[in-house]
Structure 1
Amino acid sequence: MTAETPISALWPDPSPTPLDDDALVARYRRADAPRLRMNFVTSVDGAVSLDGYSAGLSGEPDKRVFGLLRMLCDALLVAAGTLRHEGYRAIRLDERRRAWRRTHGLAEYPTLVVVSGSLDLDPTQAAFADAPVRPVVLTCDDAPAAPELAAVADLVHCGAGRVDLAVGLAELRRRGLDQVLCEGGPQLFGALTAADLVDEMCLSVAPLLAGAGAGRITAGAASPQRHLPLRHVLLAGDGTLLLRHARH
């Protein structure tokens, strides 16, 4: 069995001792209030993908934090395009992480939430067909009828011509899904930023240069700048930086 790549703390409480999962959970802990947390990986020169996919940027330390963030959330939010392109499977956790959730009074699995104005989604994709918890799709009133999708997911209408993300988040919170983790993609990140809905950003910086071609982790129309203070800096043994920015 290959040993985990060590992750240590650089700031604000530096420690050369590698952080175990309990220590990482303490640093990425659930908030006391409803929160929307973004999670992305990027190259040093700002690429969101390699050869069109984010997986090429993600090393073992990023995947470790990725799994812990999924364990901590109530809902996993993703754009339809990212769900299709990245080939999302059912959101399942191993027994150890399910046990942690049970101990902390959470459902065994987070709820998958997909944002889609067109409902161009395949109900046979494993993310829907094999889901341990019935997914939610945030859509709009102008979306076409999708009876096959409605058979495997709750379709929630939020807005007329486009999905109103603030309304959608309010609906998730009405359902008790207070801690929302968003994995993108860039257009959804840009829309959430424009609506001032992002409370926290977890960013893994892979120690490589991707070169020209790939887009940034955020995209879409220009929006006002949003201040998001740095909360911690962790360093993995492979050189990956793990940053956490959050509102007060």
Structure 2
Amino acid sequence: MPTDAPPLDLLLPGVPRTFRHLPGEPDLVALLGRGRPARHVTATMVASVDGAACGPDGRSGSLGTPADRRVFAVLRALADVVLVGAGTVRAEGYRELPVVDHLRGARAAAGRAPALVLAIVTRRGHVPREVLHGALDVVVVTGAAGAERARAQLPADRVVAVPRDDDPGSPDLAAALDVLAARGLGHVQAEGGPRLLADLLAADLVDELCLTTSPLLLAGAAPRAAAGAGPLDPPRPARLRHLLRAPDDTLLTCWDLRPPVGSGA
């Protein structure tokens, strides 16, 4: 087990208590897995205190902290598929999607397959070479423009070509999620980048946002956690589901983006 996994104070909801690092992470699994329906999209992002979604090296990984890595490992263990933009695959160096050994039992208990699937969203159909010849189970999500190029790199059944009606060159993300769910990949973890998150939010496809605030200030011109062509109109409401705090002041939040049951919204 990792030796740098810090204790996490659950400040909300309920009475504050501390989640110690235990094999199988029973507290975090119960907190992060609660209330998930058969189909569910969780977006995970990290940002600095002043809103930067990447560090000085251009990578979100440089904003990560031990607390963020602890929670991130549990979130991945609860997912069927990681949905990510091709640019983020290149920038962040995706090579594998390991499930931490001590979380394999919790993953099996949640009904997940032993290994995660990587679904890469790409308009042009370019599959990063880093993942082509590795051990990852890769699926490409693309539109009409990228389908032929993607099929030249991967078997046809690994290419999800779902052109948008209003922009056939771009993938229809809602249709892509339908295809993934039909393949038994209903629990989706969307890991960015900022443009993909903005597109998912614009299409109202995200059920919850797990956002880590790293205790750093960067300034500069780094993108925000969600950075699309334009703002959401109207802005989308969010309700705080939980708040965790680490000893180094990393804050880990989960925001429910769906209206409460019975609200009429």
SS at match of 1:92: coil
Structure 1, 211-220 or 183-192: larger mean CA deviation: 211-220
**In the TM superposition, what is the alpha-carbon distance from 1:106 to its structure 2 partner?**
1.8
* Overall identity of the aligned pairs, in %: 38
Deviations 1:29-88 (A, max 9, x none): 050231111001111100101111111210000011111110000111000110011111
TM value normalised by structure 1: 0.92
Q: 1:141 maps to which residue?
A: 144
Distance 1:10 1:72, change over 3 A: same
Q: 2:105 maps to which residue?
A: 99
Deviations 1:223-243 (A, max 9, x none): 222112111111111100110
**In the TM superposition, what is the alpha-carbon distance from 1:142 to its structure 2 partner?**
1.7
Residues 201, 244 of structure 1: 8 Å contact kept: yes
2:30 is the alignment partner of 1:29:
no
Structure 1: 5+ residue stretches without partners: none
Deviations 1:125-173 (A, max 9, x none): 1x342235x2111111122434452149701101122111011011111
Output the aligned Cα RMSD. 1.9
Distance 1:80 1:98, change over 3 A: same
CA distance in 2, matches of 1:67, 1:153: 29
Give the letter aligned to residue 25 of structure 1.
V
CA distance in 1, matches of 2:102, 2:155: 31
CA distance in 2, matches of 1:145, 1:17: 50
Q: 1:110 maps to which residue?
A: 116
Structure 1, 192-201 or 113-122: larger mean CA deviation: 113-122
Distance 1:153 1:242, change over 3 A: farther
Residues 127, 150 of structure 2: 8 Å contact kept: no
From 231, 237, 244, the equivalent of 1:234 is 244
Q: 1:56 maps to which residue?
A: 62
SS at match of 2:47: strand
Give the letter aligned to residue 161 of structure 1.
G
SS at match of 2:97: coil
SS at match of 2:144: coil
CA distance in 2, matches of 1:214, 1:80: 19
Distance 1:146 1:204, change over 3 A: closer
Give the count of matched residue pairs: 245
CA distance in 2, matches of 1:146, 1:162: 14
CA distance in 2, matches of 1:12, 1:94: 27
Residues 162, 175 of structure 2: 8 Å contact kept: yes
CA distance in 1, matches of 2:188, 2:3: 32
CA distance in 1, matches of 2:45, 2:157: 26
Q: 1:45 maps to which residue?
A: 50
Give matches, 1:123-138, under 5 Å: 124-125=129-130, 127-132=131-136, 134-138=137-141
Structure 1, 87-96 or 231-240: larger mean CA deviation: 87-96
Give matches, 1:217-228, under 5 Å: 217-222=225-230, 223-224=232-233, 225-228=235-238
